[in-house]
Amino acid sequence: MTETTTLRRGEARERLLDLAERTVLDKGFGATSIDELIAGVGITKSAFFYHFKDKNALAQALIERYLENDAAILDQLFARGDELSDDPLQGFLIGLKLFAETLADLPQAHPGCLAASFVYQEQLFSADVRALARAGAVRWRARFRARFEAIAARRPPRIPVDIETLADMATAIVDGGITLGKSMKDPSILPAQVLHFRNYVRLLFDDV
């Protein structure tokens, strides 16, 4: 196998995942067929099965890639916030502002949360894929809980608050903002909701 052939096969796999993600977010996994994906990418059915042994394998690759990309984006944004402030609250607020700006810069409304889409249709997937989809929410909970614990250690909240429930609020805000933005066809809703969440966090922990 030549290096060129390997590269082309790798490109075909990424094109399949790109198209599958857009299609699943648009109309759901159940309504997404292998035939439309191979037609859209311009490959043979045997080429599809070279990359994915079945549709469930495609689902697993989709969710793994989505969660990896999601984590990389958030890591970058909140690391930048930490670089700009030694105060865990201020660093977190900067990270949320950068997150809202990133969402506002999208050319169209956010395409949707693939992990949430998989949870909504979990009866279509194997136990492994269902576990990966749930892992998305668990990772968000752990990420934001760690942030809030660090903030609370320096700045006790002004009212009693359950840190884990507060961490889950981040997921609820983003997933709800995506749904509302798509329903209203208004891409400004999601970043605005993130900024409202930012204001709430500031009011909860800021002692000024």
pLDDT tens digits, one per residue of 15-58 = 999 999 999 999 999 999 999 999 999 999 999 999 999 999 99
> Could you give the C-alpha distances from 114 to 91, 118, 136, 170, 192, in angstroms and in order?
28, 6, 9, 16, 21
The pLDDT of residue 144: 98
CATH superfamily of 55-205: Tetracycline Repressor, domain 2 (1.10.357.10)
The topology under which CATH files domain 1-52 is Arc Repressor Mutant, subunit A (1.10.10)
The pLDDT of residue 8: 67
User: What rounded mean pLDDT belongs to the chain?
Assistant: 92
Q: Higher confidence at residue 135 or residue 97? A: 97
In three-state form (DSSP H/G/I as H, E/B as E, the rest C), the secondary structure along 105-149 is CCCCCCCCCHHHHHHHCHHHCCHHHHHHHHHHHHHHHHHHHHHHH
| pLDDT for 6 beyond 90 | no
CATH 1.10.10.60 in the chain: give the residue spans: 1-52
CATH 1.10.357.10 in the chain: give the residue spans: 55-205
